[in-house]
Structure 1
Amino acid sequence: MSRRQFLSYTLGGATAFMGAGMIVPMLRFAVDPVLQPKTEAAWVKVVEETKITETPASFKFKVHQVDGWWESDPELEAWISKDKAGNIFALNPTCKHLGCTVDWNSNPAFKDQYYCPCHGAHYTADGKNLAVAPLPLDQYELKTENGFVYVGQLGPNKRAQ
C-alpha cells in the first residue's frame, strides 16, 4: 500500500466517522416520534346529558394532541343527538367526499339531513351517506358519566351499516 492510498483511506474513514457522528443524532431526532407507541384518545367532556335531544346539535370541544414534536389544542366539533330508543351518539361533521364541513338542516331541499355545501353530499341523522359521498360520517366513541357526555376516539360509523 502506498503512502498516498494510506492517507486517502485514513482521511476518508475519519470523514465518514465524523459525518456519521453528526447524521445519526439528526436521524434519531426525526424518527423518534414515529417509534413512540400510539395512545388511545382521552375522553373529553363535551356537554351535559340533559341538553341532548333527538335533533342533532353541534358542540365544540378542545383536545390535546401531539404531532411528533408539536403539541397543540385544536378545537373540534361533534354533532350529538339521541336516536328514537334514547341512545346518545356523536358524529364528526367532516364530509367523506372531500372533507368539507356538513351542517344539519341547512338546505331546505334536504330536510332533516346533514348537508355538505361544497358538492351536495347529504346524510341521514345516523350519518348514512345518501348521495355523492362514498362513506357515512365518522362516529365518535361516547360515554355518559355523572350527567355529562364524553367523546373519545373517532372511528367508522357503526350506526349506518
Structure 2
Amino acid sequence: MSNHEQHETKERPVKRSGMSRRQFLSYTLGGAGAFMAAGMSLPMIRFAVDPILAKKAGGTWIKVVEESKLTTEPQEFKFQIHQIDGWYVSDPELTAWISKDDKGTPFALSPVCKHLGCTIGWNTEKNEEYVCPCHGAHYTKDGKNLVVAPKPLDEYDLKVEKGWIYLGPVKANTRV
C-alpha cells in the first residue's frame, strides 16, 4: 500500500452501521409527541362519536286514548313523547287526528301538512275535510291530498291493547 492510499483511508469518515444520535433523538421526540397527541385527541373523538354509536331503543308506543272514546269523526289528541337527541333530552307535545273508518278500525293521522309543514285542522270550512290554514291544502278524512299538497298526510303506527290506543312512529300513509 502506498503512502497516498494510506492517507486516503485515514481521512475518510468511518461509516457505522446503525443510527446516529440525531436520528435517535428525532425518533424518540417524534414518538413521544405522537403518543401525547393521541392521548389528548382520543377522549375528544370518543366524546363526539359515542352518541352516534349508542344503541337505539326499539319503537316506543305511547298510550293516547281509550278506544271507546273514538268515533268516525276525527278528533285531535295531544300526547308527549320522551326523546333523547345526543345529550339533549326533551318531552315534546305531539298531536294526532284519530278516528275510526267505516269498518270501525281506528287510524291516526299526523297533523303536519305535506305542502309546507303547517298544522292542519279538521272541518274548519264545514266541508268534512282537513284544511291547511296557511296555504289552502285540503285532505280527505283518510288523509288523501286533494288540493295544493303533493302527498297524502302521514299516519302513525297504531295498535289497540286492552282497550287503549297506542301510537308509534310516523310512517307514509297506507290508507290511500
2 CA distance for matches of 1:74 and 1:129?
27
Matched, 1:99 2:111: no
- Tell me what 1:158 maps to: 174
Instruction: Normalising by structure 2, report the TM-score.
Output: 0.80
- Is the 1:40–1:153 contact (alpha carbons within 8 Å) kept by the matching residues of 2? no
The Cα shift of 1:14 comes to 2.6
- Tell me what 1:144 maps to: 160
Matched, 1:17 2:12: no
- Is the 1:54–1:82 contact (alpha carbons within 8 Å) kept by the matching residues of 2? yes
Alignment of 1:130-141 (within 5 A): 130-141=146-157
Deviates more, 1:7-16 or 1:18-27: 7-16
Secondary structure at 1:90's aligned position in 2?
strand
2 CA distance for matches of 1:112 and 1:129?
13
- Tell me what 2:138 maps to: 122
2 CA distance for matches of 1:38 and 1:7?
49
Instruction: Normalising by structure 1, report the TM-score.
Output: 0.87
1 CA distance for matches of 2:71 and 2:102?
10
**Runs of 4+ residues deviating >6 angstroms:** none
- Out of 63, 68, 74, the residue aligned to residue 50 of structure 1 is 68
Structure 2 counterpart of 1:96, one-letter code: K
Q: Alpha-carbon deviations, 1:62-103, whole Å to 9, x = none?
A: 111111222221111110001111110001111112211111
Residue 99 and residue 142 in structure 1: after superposition, are their counterparts in 2 closer, same or farther (change >3 A)?
A: same
CA radius of gyration, larger in: 2
Residue 59 and residue 5 in structure 1: after superposition, are their counterparts in 2 closer, same or farther (change >3 A)?
A: same
Secondary structure at 1:120's aligned position in 2?
coil
Structure 2 counterpart of 1:142, one-letter code: L
The Cα shift of 1:3 comes to 5.5
- Is the 1:94–1:102 contact (alpha carbons within 8 Å) kept by the matching residues of 2? yes
Secondary structure at 1:28's aligned position in 2?
helix
Secondary structure at 1:55's aligned position in 2?
coil
2 CA distance for matches of 1:122 and 1:13?
68
Residue 21 and residue 51 in structure 1: after superposition, are their counterparts in 2 closer, same or farther (change >3 A)?
A: same
- Tell me what 1:32 maps to: 50
Matched, 1:67 2:54: no
Q: Give the percent of matched residue pairs that are identical in Structure 1 and Structure 2.
A: 65
Aligned residues: 158
2 CA distance for matches of 1:157 and 1:5?
69
Q: Which structure has more RCO (C-alpha within 8 Å, separation ≥ 6)?
A: 1
2 CA distance for matches of 1:3 and 1:118?
77
